[in-house]
Structure 1
């Protein structure tokens, strides 16, 4: 795996590109009009994407199809710390479809505890928690 990064202005706007040519823009969130996500936001996007792929894959193997999957991810950092790493991450997993609450819970827990590489990296510094909403109902 390899990416390339190119600076696009005299400040902090960068373009990253992978081998396939997919582009992601990065910027410093403290500038007036950021032109991309911050690196820390990309980490939260990474855990959301990684876990979502796992969840879909796990349920597809059981011949279960979701009609919708959304996720809200919030990262918590210690103010003033250097480096200012995530100390906590909370994921709200929102699922729709003909899936039992037990199967939804199992798919999410397998992703977080076993399969999601991004979560396994981030759990070294952050406590990762999650909640699941299935068809509008909280899964306990």
Structure 2
């Protein structure tokens, strides 16, 4: 796997591309006019996106009807030798549709405990917790 980044202005704006060639803009959140996501936001997006792909895939294979899928990912950071890495990440998965609650929970468990490569990358250094909301009701 390989990505490329190219500086797009005289400040911090970068255009990143992976194998698809689709650009993702990255910027310094302290810039006067922010034109992209920060690298730390991209990490949270990676956790949310990776788990979403897993959960949706698992539920589709089980013929569950997903009408809506939303995820909110929050990261808690800690000051450490001049940097601020994540110490904890919380994920809130919200599903709507004709979905069996046990299947939704199992899909989330499989994603975060087995399949999501992004979450697994951080397993040993960041506590990642997750909860599932199904049709407005917490199931975990």
- Answer yes or no: is the 8 Å Cα contact 1:85–1:125 preserved in 2: no
The DSSP-based 3-state class of the residue aligned with 1:125 is: coil
1:80, distance to aligned residue in structure 2 (A): 5.3
* Structure 1: gaps spanning 5 or more residues: none
- Answer yes or no: is the 8 Å Cα contact 1:48–1:71 preserved in 2: yes
Residue in structure 1 matched with residue 44 of structure 2 by the alignment: 44
Residue in structure 1 matched with residue 109 of structure 2 by the alignment: 109
Aligned residue pairs, count: 140
CA distance in 1, matches of 2:91, 2:82: 24
Residue in structure 1 matched with residue 5 of structure 2 by the alignment: 5
CA distance in 1, matches of 2:56, 2:20: 23
TM-score, normalised via structure 2 length: 0.95
TM-score, normalised via structure 1 length: 0.95
Residue in structure 1 matched with residue 99 of structure 2 by the alignment: 99
Whether 1:29 and 2:29 are equivalent positions in the alignment is yes
**CA spacing shift, 1:106–1:6, aligned 2, 3 Å:** same
* Structure 2: gaps spanning 5 or more residues: none
